[in-house]
A and B are shown apart, each in its own frame.
Chain A
Amino acid sequence: MTESLPHVPLGSAPATNFPALSLRGLTKRFGAKTAVNAINLDVPAGSFYGLVGPNGAGKTTSLSMATGLMRPDAGTAQVLGVDVWRHPLEAKRLMGILPDGVRLFDRLSGEQLVTYAGLLRGMDKETVASRVKDLLEALDLAKDAGTLVVDYSAGMTKKIALASALIHAPKLLVLDEPFESVDPVSSANIRDLLTDYVASGGTVIVSSHVMDLVQRMCDHVAVIAGGNVLAAGTVESVRDGMSLEEKFVELVGGRHQAGGLQWLRTS
């Protein structure tokens, strides 16, 4: 982890000196339960960052607070040096978000939805139109561009949401479970697209349950469980010679060593 950052006013330094995302003491409580417990995390600019953790670990809550969707009880989140909660507009301009478990305006056609996302960001019509076309091509959705999103399959819905997050060419992409129910071919296409994006200087944060995918795709990883960051750094340093999955299980625990369910054996 890097040192705590000095607060520099917007525009007085090149944004690349800052981490793409920097969380400090971010906390969220729901009643008596602490969902996110004062986490600190730095996502270096230009990294492909994986966020892994068991169900209910606080991944989605952390990402929601980091992206301005959920107000934290305490702590700060900065995107390329811009405080998300103090300067939400500037911060949101830098970010593209794919939240998990939220609806889309699904009575719009796929084309209309992505156009809507672009126009809401204040982009002009011509740029939006040409980018919408490119995005739909790249995500294999061109044939269904005029279909209402409500009639899309789960995987297509994920892809159209991803297109909505990409339309304004953000510096940082925050994707919560982007590969869920996406077919292998589209999934590979999305991975290529994201790898290109990182190669061109962008930063991607993905949360996922699939360790193999994170190990292959990401260069950095953080393990979150019970609202705490258990490990963070480059994938190599975190997995420490083991596979990421083995390391994850070691960190998080919860594996049963016993013989399992005796009565389930068929012979």
Chain B
Amino acid sequence: MVAHLLSLKITLLRNSLKRSPWQLVGLIFAGLYGLGILGISLVGLAVLGTADPELIRTVVTLAGAALILGWLIIPVLASGLDMTLEPARFVTFAIPEKSMLVGLALASFIGIPGIITLIVSVGTAVAWWQSPAIALVAVPCGILAALTCILASRAITAASTSLASSRRFKDVSGILLVIPLILMGPIIGTISAGMRDFSEFLPALGATVAWTPLGAIWAVPADLASGHLVSAGAKFLIALATMAVLAWIWKTSLARALVTPAFAGSLKRTGGKLGFFARFPGTPTGAVAARSLTYWIRDPRYSASLVIAPLLPLIFVFVAGQNGGLATMGNVVGFAASFAAFMVAWSISSDVSYDSTAFALHLATGVSGRADRTGRVIAAGLLALSLGVVYASVGAALADNWSSWPAMIGLVLVAAGAGLGLASVFSSRFTLNVPLPGESPLKSKPGNNFFSVLVQLVGFAGAGILTVPVVALVVIGAVVNQPVFSWLALAAGIILGCAYLLLGIRLGAAQYERRAPELLQAVSADR
């Protein structure tokens, strides 16, 4: 039975690759990424092997604890994690519980994150290349550690199944997870800057973590190496107990989940609240705009980008503003406003893909390409422009640099216009493999990402070229220090932004009229 589950997972993986060559390309890229991490980790461990056991213990314990913590946290928030062998799918098969648990646990190793975790965990033995006996102990410890990771993620997913199946929880957690990911760079930068002061603190932290369930197993070889047999034994017991508890949690919650239908909280609500539909004019264009705006707020796939976009200028602040004063910070925010506006505007490049087969309604009602394109542009444009104007104004206020304000606004306008125009053409031409309605915004489909990234890059490059005239005016203005260029940039931003927008809508609408049925076919295939 265990072998069956393993071969099922392999068959599923193989069949998913057969669907399109892009899937294979995607897997290869993911594999290369994994190999890169693997290589760096193993080389790092080998180098670490030249240091003294204390340092090895600190590093391995802390990194290992972080690894287990990752397996514990990420599955809960990213509901899009690989759940190919979801226990719920085996409900009707009456598989003996024990075989099912063992099979599912082992099957988790098939897949890039699982394999990498296993190899790196076992690879901690490399750090002990100077004392082969310890390395020999580190191998089984590594296997147990990797198993702990799998058990942790399985236990937490099973335990939170009833919670995670509530739509609202999925929606919110998906968006929240985006924030730390986006701010990862600045956070790591801040931490590593602080790290230098913590060089005395870390060994103490490592020693403490080594006694917790997260770190125990990783510290066993180091304790043996430094001759602390008793503490090594105690930690080994802690690790075994951890695994037993995790397995028990997994088993009981699984047993409960299999007999309890998923909880889906919803209240009956009578009508009368039309939301944006009441605000926009009762035309096809107005309806599309109202629908799109509703989605920007209600659909986590859209709201995620609405959360990301405002954070972008802050990253620039982190990068540039750390050694500058308030004035630098304000200017950075003001000029980065155009990036935020562009990111929101560009989001609609995958609008039809996000619609998925619901797009059939547009086709069935025979809505014109112009109304379809314009409606989507109005919704995204409203958000992009408000965001851009707010950031530009806040930036100008912070820097007390109101003479640059027209230039900032000009950049926002041309960036939004170029983004919306290009996206209108792109989304009527390409459909991308995006998360389906209701899936986590972070869910990445294996494969096809390569093509998506290519399309995105072409779009970014195109927008870059289109904004050149305004950027040039801003740069010239900064060099010759003449406020008149700031106003010229504003004028150019208004004219070019509108031109790009109208041209994009016109081309996109014509393309929509020609290709709407083909678009529906394309999104049906991605289903």
Residues of A within 8 A of B (CB): 67-71, 88-89, 91-93, 95, 97, 99, 101-112, 115-117, 119-125, 128, 132-133, 136, 142-148, 150-151, 164-165
Contact = CB atoms under 8 A, between A and B. Distances in A.
Chain B, interface size category, equals 35 or more
B295 to A, nearest CB: 6
B27 to A, nearest CB: 24
Interface stretch (B132-140, B213-221, B360-368): B360-368
B284 interface: yes
B286 interface: yes
Given A104-B358, A106-B437, 12 more contacts: A70-B520, A89-B368, A92-B366, A102-B360, A105-B361, A112-B274, A117-B365, A120-B284, A144-B269, A146-B271, A146-B273, A150-B438
Given A68-B517, A99-B360, A107-B299, A121 B269 contact: no
A258 B153 CA distance: 51
A125 B282 contact: yes
**Residue among B286, B294, B366 having the largest count of chain A Cβ atoms under 10 Å:** B366
A116 B276 CA distance: 11
A109 B298 CA distance: 11
Given A107-B298, A119-B287, A69 B364 contact: yes
Given A71-B517, A103-B357, A107-B294, A120 B269 contact: no
**Residue among A68, A115, A165 having the largest count of chain B Cβ atoms under 10 Å:** A115
Q: Describe B's contact surface by its main secondary structure.
A: helix
A136 B271 contact: yes
Interface string B290-320: 1100110011000000000000000000000
B331 to A, nearest CB: 39
Nearest to A126: B282
Contact of B366 (A88, A115, A119, A136): A88
B275 A112 contact: yes
Interface of B: 167, 264, 266-275, 277, 282-284, 286-288, 290-291, 294-295, 298-299, 355-358, 360-368, 371, 437-438, 517-518, 520-521, 524
**Residue among A69, A92, A101 having the largest count of chain B Cβ atoms under 10 Å:** A69
Nearest to A141: B271
Contact of B283 (A71, A105, A119, A146): A119
A216 to B, nearest CB: 28
Given A109-B273, A110-B271, A145-B272, A68 B363 contact: yes
**Residue among A92, A108, A117 having the largest count of chain B Cβ atoms under 10 Å:** A108
Nearest to B364: A97
Nearest to A129: B274
Nearest to B286: A119
Contacts of A132: 271
A144 B273 CA distance: 12
Contacts of B273: 109, 111, 146
B437 A103 contact: yes
A146 B270 contact: yes
A164 B268 contact: no
A105 B167 contact: no
Contacts of A146: 269-273
Contact of A119 (B267, B284, B520): B284
A96 to B, nearest CB: 8
Contacts of A128: 282
Contacts of B362: 120
Q: Which 8 pairs show the lowest CB-CB distances between chains A and B?
A: A145-B271, A146-B269, A125-B282, A119-B287, A92-B366, A151-B266, A102-B357, A111-B271
A110 B264 CA distance: 18
Contact of A107 (B268, B269, B363, B437): B437
B277 A115 contact: yes
Contacts of B274: 111-112, 115
28 contacts: A68-B366, A89-B366, A89-B368, A93-B366, A97-B364, A103-B357, A103-B358, A104-B361, A105-B291, A105-B358, A107-B298, A108-B291, A108-B294, A109-B269, A109-B273, A111-B272, A112-B275, A112-B277, A116-B290, A117-B361, A119-B277, A143-B268, A144-B270, A145-B270, A145-B271, A146-B273, A147-B269, A151-B264
A92 B364 contact: yes
Contacts of A151: 167, 264, 266
**Residue among B284, B361, B367 having the largest count of chain A Cβ atoms under 10 Å:** B361
Nearest to A107: B298
**Residue among A112, A128, A164 having the largest count of chain B Cβ atoms under 10 Å:** A112
A101 B520 CA distance: 13
Contacts of B267: 147
Contacts of A164: 361
B517 A69 contact: yes
**Residue among A117, A120, A122 having the largest count of chain B Cβ atoms under 10 Å:** A120
Contacts of B277: 112, 115-116, 119
B524 to A, nearest CB: 8
Nearest to A125: B282
Given A122-B284, A146-B270, A105 B363 contact: no
Nearest to A93: B366
Contacts of B437: 103, 106-107, 150
Given A71-B517, A112-B274, A121 B295 contact: no
A171 to B, nearest CB: 14
Given A71-B517, A107-B294, A108-B294, A92 B365 contact: yes
**Residue among B267, B295, B358 having the largest count of chain A Cβ atoms under 10 Å:** B358
Contacts of B290: 116
B457 to A, nearest CB: 29
B372 to A, nearest CB: 9
A95 B365 CA distance: 9
